[in-house]
């Protein structure tokens, strides 16, 4: 069976130093100044290349427009497929014909010349980013600027194939990026190409069809001891001390704590409502639908909140600067949290670590997983159980001792005492 070949074929020129090169062959260019549309019909040429891993390579001509409207004819090469997938020349010709047929159509010129960088800057960024949360928008812009545009910015959309995506992912993993970071990078690329597919600039999005490497062995999640949390909270200066204790007792995200207003807090009913979050000074909706929730307050949290309530303005932030602006979690982490954690021998501690610690403590005291999920604002209990709940050393020791007692059975003195009591009852 011949695999379908669309406009997204493999660039035969390959990659160099993690950057995808142009596939045009300058020696074959022919200027056509007054050409307004592509009228050439062609079949292209086909040949094998390689020794160990042989591939079918197709060559064809297509128009390329320069600034000012001048059009030039460029010879290009694409890898149609491997000889293993296309064993006969007839199979390779049929696959290559599907691609060349698109080049011969009348309305192909705009589709042929649109690059990834042009589409991302002209269409995707202005139309899609305004619909995203501020934090997501900033992350997408970072991924585009740092990773995708340097590698794919000058490449035509139709030439971004599964092999292109696979090469990019492999290069990023070899550069030392984490598996999770590369996965997010791949997701952003797929989002952009999906938009290009909806606009008809490419036939199909190659990203979902590209296999992604499995995540390698992950280090074991470190155990969290309640004593560590107490030592860290006691050693922190204000306002980080109050923030850390609130997160440890409520499992709130740092952005949710810093976005709290006095109208969200009911000290008489001993509850607070999570209605918003803040990131880089911008207020937004909480992370998920389940993140809008009501959290019960312990006496320690109520004491902290009462000590900070100095005015009756319901719209004022609970934690703010002197001018009333939200505090910066990055500055607090850099100036207070991290230095204190390093002195205590806890380099892994940060605001999110405290949220993990809170989830672990809730689980340690026997809180049902559904209740813990609700408190943390997760959409799935699997996230709560698989990611946030760590082990507690003391609980692990008690559990091991209980299993040993169960395996060994009741002690002889217990058996003798039970038998003696039974004989007395019979008499």
Report the number of distinct structural domains present in the chain.
4
Instruction: Provide the pLDDT for residue 274.
Output: 92
Contacts 24+ apart (CB under 8 A), 220-224: 221/390, 221/391, 222/348, 222/390, 223/390, 223/391, 223/392, 223/393, 223/396, 224/356, 224/357, 224/360, 224/361, 224/390, 224/391, 224/392
The domain spanning residue 246 has which CATH number?
1.10.443.10
Nearest to 256 by CA among 272, 268, 238, 233: 272
- Indicate whether 99 and 150 sit together in one domain: no
**Any residues with CB less than 8 A from the CB of 298 and at least 6 apart, and which?**
249
Instruction: Provide the pLDDT for residue 151.
Output: 93
Q: Which tokens in the block code for residue 369?
A: 């997983």
Nearest to 187 by CA among 150, 155, 127, 147: 147
- Indicate whether 382 and 418 sit together in one domain: no
- Indicate whether 191 and 244 sit together in one domain: no
- Indicate whether 119 and 258 sit together in one domain: no
- Indicate whether 367 and 327 sit together in one domain: yes
- Indicate whether 177 and 199 sit together in one domain: yes
**Structural domain span for residue 200:** 114-218
CB 96 within 8 A of CB 58: yes
- Indicate whether 164 and 206 sit together in one domain: yes
Per-residue model confidence as pLDDT tens digits over 2-24: 444 444 444 444 433 334 334 44
Per-residue model confidence as pLDDT tens digits over 179-231: 889 999 999 999 999 988 888 788 789 999 888 877 766 666 677 888 989 99
- Indicate whether 16 and 158 sit together in one domain: no
DSSP bridge partners of 63: 73
Task: State which of 49, 80, 112 marks the end of a domain.
Answer: 112
Instruction: Provide the pLDDT for residue 40.
Output: 59
Q: Which tokens in the block code for residue 348?
A: 């892994």
Q: Which tokens in the block code for residue 58?
A: 């197709």
- Indicate whether 102 and 122 sit together in one domain: no
Task: State which of 165, 197, 218 marks the end of a domain.
Answer: 218
- Indicate whether 19 and 146 sit together in one domain: no
- The alpha-carbon radius of gyration of the chain (Å, integer) is 31
CA distance between the termini of the chain = 87
The helix (run of H) or strand (run of E) holding residue 338 is: helix 338-343
- Indicate whether 119 and 138 sit together in one domain: yes
- Indicate whether 373 and 424 sit together in one domain: no
CA dihedral 355, 360, 364, 369 (to 10 degrees): 90
Q: Which tokens in the block code for residue 18?
A: 């993690």
179 φ, ψ to 5°?
Answer: -60, -40
pLDDT beneath 50, residues of the chain: 1-38, 67-69, 106, 412, 416, 421, 423-427
Instruction: Provide the pLDDT for residue 109.
Output: 53
């Amino acid at each position: 069976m011949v695999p379908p070949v669309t406009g997204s074929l493999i660039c035969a020129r390959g990659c160099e130093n993690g950057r995808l090169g142009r596939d045009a062959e300058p020696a074959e260019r022919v200027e056509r100044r007054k050409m307004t549309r592509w009228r050439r019909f062609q079949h292209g040429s086909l040949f094998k290349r390689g020794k160990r891993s042989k591939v079918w390579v197709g060559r064809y001509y297509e128009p390329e427009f320069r600034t000012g409207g001048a059009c030039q004819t460029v010879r290009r090469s694409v890898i149609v497929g491997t000889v293993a997938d296309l064993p006969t020349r007839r199979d390779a010709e049929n696959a290559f014909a599907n691609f060349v047929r698109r080049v011969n159509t009348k309305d192909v010129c705009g589709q042929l010349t649109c690059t990834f960088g042009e589409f991302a800057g002209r269409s995707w960024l202005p139309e899609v980013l305004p619909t995203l949360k501020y934090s997501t928008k900033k992350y997408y812009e970072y991924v585009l600027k740092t990773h995708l545009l340097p590698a794919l910015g000058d490449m035509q959309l139709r030439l971004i194939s599964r092999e292109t995506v696979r090469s990019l992912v492999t290069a990023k993993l070899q550069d030392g990026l984490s598996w999770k970071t590369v996965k997010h990078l791949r997701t952003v690329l797929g989002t952009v190409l999906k938009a290009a597919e909806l606009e008809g600039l490419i036939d199909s999005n190659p990203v979902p069809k590209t296999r992604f490497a499995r995540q390698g062995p992950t280090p074991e999640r470190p155990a969290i001891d309640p004593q560590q949390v107490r030592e860290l909270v006691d050693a922190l200066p204000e306002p980080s001390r109050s923030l850390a204790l609130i997160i440890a007792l409520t499992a709130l995200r740092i952005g949710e704590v810093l976005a709290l207003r006095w109208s969200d807090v009911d000290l008489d009913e001993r509850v607070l409502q999570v209605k918003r979050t803040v990131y880089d000074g911008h207020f937004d909706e909480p992370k998920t639908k389940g993140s809008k929730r009501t959290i019960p307050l312990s006496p320690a949290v109520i004491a902290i909140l009462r000590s900070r309530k100095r005015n009756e303005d319901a719209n004022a932030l609970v934690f703010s600067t002197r001018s009333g602006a939200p505090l910066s979690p990055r500055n607090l982490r850099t100036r207070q949290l991290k230095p204190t954690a390093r002195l205590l021998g806890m380099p892994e501690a940060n605001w999110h670590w405290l949220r993990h610690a809170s989830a672990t403590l809730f689980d340690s005291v026997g809180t049902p997983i559904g209740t813990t999920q609700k408190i943390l604002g997760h959409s799935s209990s699997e996230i709560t159980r698989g990611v946030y709940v760590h082990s507690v050393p003391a609980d692990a020791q008690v559990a091991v001792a209980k299993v040993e007692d169960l395996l060994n059975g009741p002690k002889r003195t217990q058996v003798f005492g039970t038998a003696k009591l039974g004989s007395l009852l019979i008499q």
